[in-house]
Amino acid sequence: MNENQNSTNQDETKTVNEQPAVNQQQEASEMEQSGADQAANQQSFNLDGVFGKRLLATFIDMVIIGVGAAVVSLIAAFILPRSPLNFAAIFNLFVFTAAAAAMLLKDMPYEFAGLDGQSPGKKAMGIRVTDLNKKPLTMEQSIKRNLIPASGYMIAVISSLLNAIPIGFIAGLAGFFIVLPLLAISFLANMFEIYKMYASPMNRRWGDTLANTIVTID
């Protein structure tokens, strides 16, 4: 009888001793889940932050490149002759080619004026683009990811080439049937890139997918 009672007391004591351990495990599990939820929320917040920063960074880069090209182009239009060849258009052909190249290559790793491999817009916004292994981009990757953002400048190159022909009627037709449709396609493609950047995981747009790149807060 005493042995049975002792055995029962030992079982009860063991159960009581095990109960705190179970509670501790449950608490640890709940804390771990809470930490995971907080990390997920923090990641989502950071990604939302990257989206806004990327829009502003792209706007800054386009303004710097676009305004520079537009000012030089405007000056050329006033001072260069347009006959027998349209030298202003020929000059602008090189100007917009340089602008397109600057946009295509802006994410290559380089150090200039404190940029440290970042475009001026990304430097201002405190973000950086790398490949999926956190390594700097190659020339090929920079070109691939910036094809759509640079499309407007490339269309300006085509327009300059068409306007170099000193026949207004032909240039007008070419502009209507070639340049305008290309501009519409470029606009829609850029809008699609913004949508993809907002809706896709880790804010990766089509250019990022093509080039295997990612943009993160620096």
**Cα angle: 66, vertex 201, 138; to 5 degrees:** 50
Mean pLDDT, residues 36-57: 62
What are the φ/ψ torsions at residue 145 (nearest 5 degrees)?
-75, -15
The string over 149-174, giving b where at least 16 C-beta atoms fall within 10 Å of a residue's C-beta and e elsewhere, is: bbbbbbbbbbbbbbbbeeeeeebeeb
Which two structure tokens, joined as six digits, stand for 211?
């080039």
Stretch among 12-26, 82-96, 104-118, 193-207 having the lowest mean pLDDT? 12-26
Mean pLDDT, residues 93-102: 96
Pick the more confident residue, 16 or 139. Answer: 139
Residue 165: is its pLDDT beyond 80? no
% of the chain surpassing 90 pLDDT: 50
What pLDDT is stored for residue 22 in this prediction? 45
Residue 126: is its pLDDT beyond 50? yes
Residue 215's SS3 state is strand
Q: Which among 129-138, 167-176, 183-192 has the top mean pLDDT?
A: 183-192
What pLDDT is stored for residue 152 in this prediction? 94
Domain ranges (residues) in the chain:
50-217
Residue 191: is its pLDDT beyond 60? yes
Residues 93, 95: Cα–Cα separation, whole Å:
6
> Is residue 213 left, alpha or beta, with left meaning phi > 0 and alpha meaning psi from -120 to 50?
beta
CB of 155 closer than 8 Å to CB of 186: yes
Pick the more confident residue, 172 or 34. Answer: 172
Residues 171, 59: Cα–Cα separation, whole Å:
31
What pLDDT is stored for residue 111 in this prediction? 67
Look up the pTM and report it.
0.73
Question: What average pLDDT does the structure give for the chain?
Answer: 80
Residue 15: is its pLDDT beyond 70? no
Stretch among 9-18, 44-53, 63-72, 112-121 having the lowest mean pLDDT? 9-18
